[in-house]
Amino acid sequence: MASFSSPSPASSVDDTGLVVHASEIHKSFASQEVLKGVSLDVVRGEVVVLIGPSGSGKTTFLRCINHFEVPNSGVMQVNGHLIGTKLDRQGKRVEASAREVATQRAEIGFVFQHFNLFPNRTALENVMLGPIKVQKMPKEKARTVAIDQLTKVGLANKIDRYPAQLSGGQKQRVAIARSLAMNPALMLFDEPTSALDPEVIGEVLSVIRDLANEGMTMVIVSHEIGFAREVADRVAMFDDGQIVEIGTPQQVFDNPTQARTKAFLSKVL
């Protein structure tokens, strides 16, 4: 099955509007090829939701965007900067050092399925940590930023609670606040509701919905089809390591053109 990229809106904006530029991303684990030349452009303010069956490459691609997974080949750029590679003095693309990758990654927020909070730190301390350690922000300013972001996600009254004292939905909202405290140009969400009880999924989706309304650029892996229909500007259908269909939610969900998309949606809608 051939891979193809979207009729991307990037063609109608200049380079400063392109937040994600992924070109021919390949990734293998041992002998298994997980990504088979995935290309995707995301412009500023756009929300792209990645759907598809488990094992189709969605999460691996998301992790390649911020170099949590190292592509075997292809080019990844975020906000005009190479991710995971750099140009040497001769203009040749070479692998970046761990320190350089950390700097490249500073503009990207990543929200995991399982929160990844520090259990021995309060919600406030979890959110303050990045600005202090990575951005060298003064502690009092970091505290103000952290309180603002926790308030934004509806947790102003939980700032002194430890993760063990919070519900799953509250932990995920702390994780979102932690990413927002770094003032990212891009937010990545890896199935942010998959580890949550059904009754708290809505509170997390509400926060992401608000971010979309505010113009945050986001790439989201999600099985929440109703949510994707509501917030996505475009939906990308993954199958067997490729994007097999991409378009608006109305195009992909209501009028899919690919047999594989139709088969997948028949099981989840």
pLDDT score recorded for residue 16: 56
According to DSSP, the residues that pair with 234 across neighbouring strands are: 48
CA nearest 196: which of 219, 226, 217, 175?
A: 175
CA distance 55 to 42: 23
Which residues of the chain are modeled with pLDDT < 50? Answer: 1-14
- 185 touches 78 (CB < 8 A): yes
Q: 92 Cβ partners below 8 Å, 6+ apart? A: none
At a CB cut-off of 8 Å and minimum separation 6, what does 198 contact? none
Q: What is the dihedral of CA 61, 67, 68, 69, to 10 degrees?
A: 60
pLDDT of residue 38: 98
pLDDT score recorded for residue 11: 34
- Whole-model pTM: value is 0.90
| pLDDT value, residue 269 | 81
Residue 16 CA to its chain's centroid (Å): 20
In angstroms, the CA 210 to CA 97 distance is 36
- Position 131 scores a pLDDT of 95
Sign, Cα dihedral of 114, 116, 118, 124: negative
pLDDT score at 85: 87
> What pLDDT does 207 receive?
95
Rounded to 5 degrees, what angle do the CA atoms 192, 108, 131 make? Answer: 100
> Given this model, what pLDDT does residue 15 score?
55
